[in-house]
Structure 1
Amino acid sequence: MGLLRDEALSRSADSSYSSNRTMMVCVSALAALALGIGILCALAAGPLHAQCAVEWKIGIPCFDVSSLLVNQIKEWSTETCHGKSQRCLYYLVSIHAEDITATHTTPVMRFVDDITFNLSSPDPDTCEVQGRSVSRSWYAILDSGTNYLNMYNLMRGSGLSSSPTFTESTSDRLCTQFSSTRQNLPP
């Protein structure tokens, strides 16, 4: 009879251990889920991958806008980057009708971003430009505004941002770290 009682106590202890272990696994899974939701909520202020989408309106014909952007990309295709400048390592991939495709490589870490500009003309003297820059690095979430700067530097370098009718439209939801980057740009 003592042997049966020992066996029963052993089963009870195993059952209690198994129940506690199951509860610990459930609590751990819930904690991981809560953490994951917290991280996603924190990132919800921007894209979940380093990228930027911007719309510009410029009071210049699209042919001229295209020429200025293409020339600036070519000018900054140099391998020589002065100081901490990102105004180098651009590469013109293609020009097709109203689309310009390019890449930019960051000078230090050599990350590559894909850039596209789509130009459309609501009237002969105005050009609307849809710009998009996306990091090729699958793991990139935050980029210190690099994808925005990939395009804005071209707008500024080409003189397009100095046009009296130049307007820019984007947000932190469309452009990784846009607000903090834009705030730190010189006037």
Structure 2
Amino acid sequence: MMTGYRNLLWLLPVSLLLFWPVWGGTLSRLLAPRGGLEAPGTLAPPQAAGKDDAGFMMDNVLFSQLKNGSRDWEIQAKHLYTGKDQDRMQLEAVEAQVFKNDKRKFVITGKEGEYNSKKKILILRNQVRVQAENGFLVQSDSLSYDDQTRKITTAAPVQITDKGIGIQGKGIDYDMQKESYDVRGRVKVDIH
């Protein structure tokens, strides 16, 4: 038989280990966090605003449309995602190119946008620029491009630069086929 305090100290950890199945569950429940706290790492990382119910997400996207065998337009975006409505694609860092007879006529850029694939309408926001190959430039905070009518419209303030003329106004209707535009609001014209 073992005697002395030294032997008792050795038996204490061994007995605690052997009887863990009896008292371990009670101790674990006692030490568990209360009040609905979850263990670290179980929370999902926060998602960016507007991407909550994304159907799909893609990076570095380029899609285009052909008409009669030649390029009609191309849209390139750094990020693309859809929500519940799969026909409305949300875009970030957007560049759209519009072609005529396979020659680039316009480049439309913006920091963010939305493309409705059913209506064929592209809406751009944040530092939007429309640059024509002939030097015509439109700048605004937002605008929409309707691919079916080939028109650019906005009600936001615009700044237009074209062949020695600077024009400022509130809104524009630009017909890309006729190459004509109507500036609305109080219009200011500077001739260079």
The TM-score bracket by the shorter chain reads under 0.3
| TM-score, normalisation: structure 2 | 0.27
Higher relative strand content: 2
Of structures 1 and 2, the one scoring higher in RCO (CA 8 A, sep 6+) is: 1
Higher relative helix content: 1
| TM-score, normalisation: structure 1 | 0.27
Q: Name which one, 1 or 2, has greater alpha-carbon Rg.
A: 2
